[in-house]
Protein backbone atom coordinates (compact mmCIF):
# COMPACT_ATOMS: atom_id res chain seq x y z
CA UNK A 1 0.00 0.00 0.00
CA UNK A 2 1.45 3.34 -0.98
CA UNK A 3 0.58 6.95 -0.26
CA UNK A 4 0.55 9.97 -2.53
CA UNK A 5 0.98 13.47 -1.11
CA UNK A 6 -1.92 15.88 -1.61
CA UNK A 7 -2.06 19.64 -1.55
CA UNK A 8 -2.20 21.11 1.97
CA UNK A 9 -5.64 22.25 3.05
CA UNK A 10 -5.83 25.52 4.93
CA UNK A 11 -8.31 25.41 7.79
CA UNK A 12 -10.88 28.19 7.99
CA UNK A 13 -10.03 30.03 11.18
CA UNK A 14 -12.10 32.78 12.78
CA UNK A 15 -10.37 36.18 12.77
CA UNK A 16 -8.83 37.48 15.97
CA UNK A 17 -11.04 39.43 18.36
CA UNK A 18 -8.54 42.29 18.34
CA UNK A 19 -10.01 43.63 15.10
CA UNK A 20 -11.83 46.97 14.84
CA UNK A 21 -12.53 48.75 18.15
CA UNK A 22 -16.10 48.85 19.37
CA UNK A 23 -17.83 52.18 18.65
CA UNK A 24 -21.23 53.34 19.77
CA UNK A 25 -23.09 53.43 16.49
CA UNK A 26 -25.56 51.48 14.45
CA UNK A 27 -24.65 47.75 14.21
CA UNK A 28 -25.13 48.03 10.44
CA UNK A 29 -22.43 50.68 10.06
CA UNK A 30 -19.87 49.62 7.42
CA UNK A 31 -16.47 48.44 8.64
CA UNK A 32 -13.86 51.21 8.58
CA UNK A 33 -10.79 50.95 6.38
CA UNK A 34 -8.65 50.50 9.50
CA UNK A 35 -10.88 47.74 10.84
CA UNK A 36 -10.95 45.98 7.46
CA UNK A 37 -7.15 46.14 7.29
CA UNK A 38 -6.80 44.51 10.71
CA UNK A 39 -9.28 41.82 9.76
CA UNK A 40 -7.41 41.03 6.53
CA UNK A 41 -4.11 41.02 8.42
CA UNK A 42 -5.41 38.55 11.01
CA UNK A 43 -6.87 36.34 8.29
CA UNK A 44 -3.57 36.27 6.40
CA UNK A 45 -1.61 35.48 9.58
CA UNK A 46 -4.00 32.66 10.43
CA UNK A 47 -3.73 31.23 6.93
CA UNK A 48 0.07 31.44 7.01
CA UNK A 49 0.26 29.70 10.40
CA UNK A 50 -2.07 26.96 9.15
CA UNK A 51 0.07 26.41 6.06
CA UNK A 52 3.26 26.26 8.13
CA UNK A 53 1.71 23.71 10.49
CA UNK A 54 0.71 21.51 7.57
CA UNK A 55 4.03 21.89 5.74
CA UNK A 56 6.31 21.28 8.71
CA UNK A 57 4.27 19.18 11.14
CA UNK A 58 1.49 17.45 9.22
CA UNK A 59 1.14 16.27 5.67
CA UNK A 60 -2.09 15.11 4.02
CA UNK A 61 -1.74 11.84 2.11
CA UNK A 62 -4.05 9.52 0.23
CA UNK A 63 -4.04 5.78 0.83
CA UNK A 64 -3.80 3.55 -2.22
CA UNK A 65 -4.60 -0.11 -1.76
CA UNK A 66 -6.18 -2.29 0.90
CA UNK A 67 -3.30 -3.83 2.83
CA UNK A 68 -4.15 -1.77 5.95
CA UNK A 69 -7.78 -2.84 6.19
CA UNK A 70 -9.88 -2.66 8.22
CA UNK A 71 -8.67 0.68 9.67
CA UNK A 72 -7.47 2.29 6.46
CA UNK A 73 -9.40 1.87 3.25
CA UNK A 74 -8.41 2.54 -0.33
CA UNK A 75 -8.55 6.30 -1.08
CA UNK A 76 -8.82 7.32 2.58
CA UNK A 77 -7.32 10.76 3.23
CA UNK A 78 -5.29 11.16 6.39
CA UNK A 79 -2.76 13.38 8.09
CA UNK A 80 0.69 12.10 8.98
CA UNK A 81 2.87 13.75 11.61
CA UNK A 82 6.29 14.43 10.08
CA UNK A 83 7.83 15.89 13.23
CA UNK A 84 6.94 13.44 16.01
CA UNK A 85 9.87 11.07 15.45
CA UNK A 86 12.34 13.92 15.89
CA UNK A 87 11.37 14.10 19.56
CA UNK A 88 10.02 10.61 20.34
CA UNK A 89 10.99 7.09 19.41
CA UNK A 90 9.14 4.79 17.05
CA UNK A 91 7.01 2.36 19.04
CA UNK A 92 5.69 -1.09 18.30
CA UNK A 93 2.16 -0.73 16.94
CA UNK A 94 2.74 2.67 15.30
CA UNK A 95 1.36 3.05 11.78
CA UNK A 96 4.20 4.64 9.82
CA UNK A 97 4.81 6.04 6.37
CA UNK A 98 8.15 5.32 4.74
CA UNK A 99 9.99 5.30 1.45
CA UNK A 100 9.73 1.85 -0.11
CA UNK A 101 13.20 0.27 0.24
CA UNK A 102 13.20 -1.09 -3.31
CA UNK A 103 12.03 2.17 -4.88
CA UNK A 104 12.43 5.29 -2.68
CA UNK A 105 10.22 7.25 -5.07
CA UNK A 106 7.25 5.32 -3.68
CA UNK A 107 5.82 5.58 -0.17
CA UNK A 108 4.28 2.74 1.85
CA UNK A 109 2.17 2.73 4.98
CA UNK A 110 2.43 -0.20 7.42
CA UNK A 111 2.35 -1.05 11.11
CA UNK A 112 5.55 -1.45 13.16
CA UNK A 113 5.70 -5.00 14.50
CA UNK A 114 9.26 -5.32 15.81
CA UNK A 115 11.92 -2.85 16.93
CA UNK A 116 15.71 -2.85 16.58
CA UNK A 117 17.19 -5.78 18.50
CA UNK A 118 13.89 -7.65 18.81
CA UNK A 119 13.83 -11.38 18.13
CA UNK A 120 10.98 -12.14 15.75
CA UNK A 121 9.42 -15.21 14.20
CA UNK A 122 6.10 -15.90 12.55
CA UNK A 123 4.59 -19.35 12.97
CA UNK A 124 1.70 -20.00 10.56
CA UNK A 125 0.54 -16.40 10.84
CA UNK A 126 1.09 -16.01 14.59
CA UNK A 127 3.69 -13.35 15.35
CA UNK A 128 6.16 -13.91 18.19
CA UNK A 129 8.40 -11.12 19.49
CA UNK A 130 11.06 -11.82 22.10
CA UNK A 131 9.50 -15.17 22.89
CA UNK A 132 5.95 -13.87 23.43
CA UNK A 133 2.98 -14.11 21.10
CA UNK A 134 1.99 -10.64 19.94
CA UNK A 135 -1.59 -9.62 20.71
CA UNK A 136 -2.85 -8.15 17.46
CA UNK A 137 -6.40 -6.94 17.94
CA UNK A 138 -6.02 -4.78 14.84
CA UNK A 139 -5.92 -7.90 12.62
CA UNK A 140 -9.40 -9.44 12.27
CA UNK A 141 -9.57 -13.20 11.85
CA UNK A 142 -10.70 -12.88 8.24
CA UNK A 143 -7.52 -10.95 7.35
CA UNK A 144 -5.03 -13.38 8.90
CA UNK A 145 -2.94 -15.81 6.91
CA UNK A 146 -0.82 -18.88 7.59
CA UNK A 147 2.55 -17.66 6.36
CA UNK A 148 5.64 -18.31 8.47
CA UNK A 149 8.88 -16.37 8.83
CA UNK A 150 12.11 -17.81 10.16
CA UNK A 151 13.63 -16.61 13.44
CA UNK A 152 15.44 -13.33 12.96
CA UNK A 153 16.90 -10.49 15.01
CA UNK A 154 15.93 -7.05 13.76
CA UNK A 155 19.11 -5.10 12.84
CA UNK A 156 20.08 -1.85 14.54
CA UNK A 157 18.16 1.19 13.28
CA UNK A 158 15.68 -1.02 11.42
CA UNK A 159 12.00 -1.84 11.93
CA UNK A 160 9.94 -4.85 10.88
CA UNK A 161 6.62 -3.64 9.42
CA UNK A 162 3.51 -5.46 8.29
CA UNK A 163 0.10 -4.62 6.86
CA UNK A 164 -3.00 -5.36 8.92
CA UNK A 165 -4.56 -7.26 6.01
CA UNK A 166 -1.96 -10.00 6.27
CA UNK A 167 -3.19 -12.17 3.43
CA UNK A 168 -2.56 -9.51 0.75
CA UNK A 169 0.10 -7.25 2.29
CA UNK A 170 3.51 -6.72 0.75
CA UNK A 171 5.68 -5.91 3.77
CA UNK A 172 8.87 -6.77 5.66
CA UNK A 173 8.20 -10.45 5.09
CA UNK A 174 9.13 -9.72 1.47
CA UNK A 175 11.42 -6.68 1.43
CA UNK A 176 12.98 -7.01 4.89
CA UNK A 177 13.21 -4.62 7.81
CA UNK A 178 12.94 -0.91 7.00
CA UNK A 179 15.83 1.38 7.86
CA UNK A 180 15.08 4.23 10.24
CA UNK A 181 16.14 6.88 7.71
CA UNK A 182 13.38 5.75 5.34
CA UNK A 183 10.59 6.35 7.88
CA UNK A 184 9.34 9.93 7.65
CA UNK A 185 5.95 10.08 9.33
CA UNK A 186 3.35 8.61 11.65
CA UNK A 187 -0.27 8.24 10.58
CA UNK A 188 -2.40 10.12 13.09
CA UNK A 189 -5.85 11.04 11.78
CA UNK A 190 -8.21 10.13 8.94
CA UNK A 191 -10.17 13.19 7.77
CA UNK A 192 -12.00 11.78 4.74
CA UNK A 193 -14.37 10.13 3.99
CA UNK A 194 -16.67 10.92 6.89
CA UNK A 195 -17.36 7.27 7.73
CA UNK A 196 -13.64 6.70 8.45
CA UNK A 197 -12.89 9.94 10.32
CA UNK A 198 -10.91 9.41 13.50
CA UNK A 199 -7.56 8.63 15.07
CA UNK A 200 -5.35 5.98 13.51
CA UNK A 201 -4.56 3.25 16.05
* Residues annotated as catalytic (active site), given as ranges: 67, 110
Per-residue b or e along 147-156, where b marks 16 or more CB atoms closer than 10 Å to that residue's CB: eebeebebee
**What are the percentages of helix, strand and coil residues in the chain, rounded to 5?**
20, 30, 50
Q: Which residues pair with 140 in a beta bridge?
A: none
Distance of alpha carbon 135 from alpha carbon 72, whole angstroms: 19
Alpha helices, H only, the chain: 33-56, 172-175
- Helix (H/G/I), strand (E/B), else coil: 62: strand
Displacement of CA 64 from its chain's centroid (Å): 13
Amino acid sequence: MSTNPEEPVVAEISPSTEAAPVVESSPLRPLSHGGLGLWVRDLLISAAVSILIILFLYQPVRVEGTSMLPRLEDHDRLFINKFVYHITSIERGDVVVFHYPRDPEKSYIKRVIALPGDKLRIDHGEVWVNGKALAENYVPEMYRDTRSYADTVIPDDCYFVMGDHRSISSDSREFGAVERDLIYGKAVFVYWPARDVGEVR
